[in-house]
Amino acid sequence: MSTVTVRSENSLFQKLVVLKTNRVKRGRYGEFLVEGVRNLNAAKRFGWDIRAVIYISGGKLSDWAEDYISSAGADKIELTADLMQKLSGKTDVSELMAVVGMKDDDPARITFRGTPLLALFDRPSNHGNLGTMIRSCDSCGVDGLIITGHAADLYAPETVAATMGSFFKVPCIRIQSNEGIEDYISSLRHRYPDLLTVGTTAHKEKTLWDVDLTRPTVFFIGNETDGLSAFLKTGCDVQATIPMAEDSFASSFNVACSATVMFSEAMRQRMTGASV
């Protein structure tokens, strides 16, 4: 493993900057930048490809950072304190960052621990909502997340940070075309004939807790502004409503909040064996 010391904004430093800031170039390199203790620990724990660790040259590192660097088996990039500050952009500069390899968008990465429970997020436009949904998937035992269409970048620092480490545990697969989605859902129906696809609607239809979520289930979750595409609406076996207070001024939930309610209800039903 090599060690490189960077003292100027050279080509290597510029690459690190674009891994953090440029979606297109992240995709070309197949790498992204990770910082934060929880995210770094999760990346290593769940077997992601850590390609380089980044830290301040000659600085005093914590025992955790020293252990991480020695056990990561990755190249080492030493930056001056000023360059580390520029790369981090935080007031409290990260002690350690890492360059991590992206995963393939292969649906086979999603495996099922029991009765399948999946989520599909249609064209998410907000990194925070996407990251929060990944964290909720992890919290409620959702096996994986499918991201459709032109969406907020899965590998953006804002997305990864919002997951609080769950990014590295929950398989997240990007499928851009309707044909790809149709093929994947069809393959699931072939394996699980009683598969249920559930969308949500603000209209007062069947309430969420009246839907049997103990079956193999895929939640279809709409875009923050436009909701589900017409294609995905036609693919829903049922559209369910999350009840709200009768005197609520709000007309709907935030999309990440809505997803968390749905995931939690599925977990509750599976733990108790029944809907309300």
| pLDDT of 26 above 70 | yes
- 62 vs 226, more confident: 62
At residue 59 the predicted structure's pLDDT band, cuts being 50, 70 and 90, is confident
Instruction: Verify that 258 and 230 share a domain, yes or no.
Output: yes
**CA 251, chain centre distance (Å):** 27
CATH label of the domain that carries residue 160: 3.40.1280.10
Q: Average pLDDT of 56-84?
A: 95
Instruction: Verify that 163 and 32 share a domain, yes or no.
Output: no
Instruction: Verify that 93 and 118 share a domain, yes or no.
Output: no
The number of beta carbons lying within 10 Å of the beta carbon of residue 2 is: 8
Domain finish residue from 101, 135, 164: 101
Instruction: Verify that 245 and 137 share a domain, yes or no.
Output: yes
What is the per-residue pLDDT across 171-216, written as a single tens digit (0 to 9) for each?
Answer: 999 999 999 999 999 999 999 999 999 998 766 668 999 999 999 9
CATH label of the domain that carries residue 59: 3.30.1330.30
At residue 267 the predicted structure's pLDDT band, cuts being 50, 70 and 90, is very high
Instruction: Verify that 168 and 83 share a domain, yes or no.
Output: no
The predicted pLDDT at position 160 comes to: 97
Mean pLDDT of the residues in the chain: 93
Q: Which domain holds residue 179?
A: 107-272
Instruction: Verify that 137 and 236 share a domain, yes or no.
Output: yes
- Angle made by CA atoms 103, 108, 112, in degrees to the nearest 5: 115
Instruction: Verify that 237 and 145 share a domain, yes or no.
Output: yes
Instruction: Verify that 70 and 143 share a domain, yes or no.
Output: no
Instruction: Verify that 176 and 119 share a domain, yes or no.
Output: yes
- Comparing CA positions, the residue from 249, 248, 222 lying closest to residue 233 is 222
Task: Specify the number of domains making up the chain.
Answer: 2
| pLDDT of 25 above 70 | yes
Instruction: Verify that 230 and 123 share a domain, yes or no.
Output: yes
Q: Average pLDDT of 141-146?
A: 98
Instruction: Verify that 156 and 189 share a domain, yes or no.
Output: yes
Task: Please state, in angstroms and rounded to a whole number, the distance separating the CA atoms of residues 16 and 22.
Answer: 10
The predicted pLDDT at position 76 comes to: 97
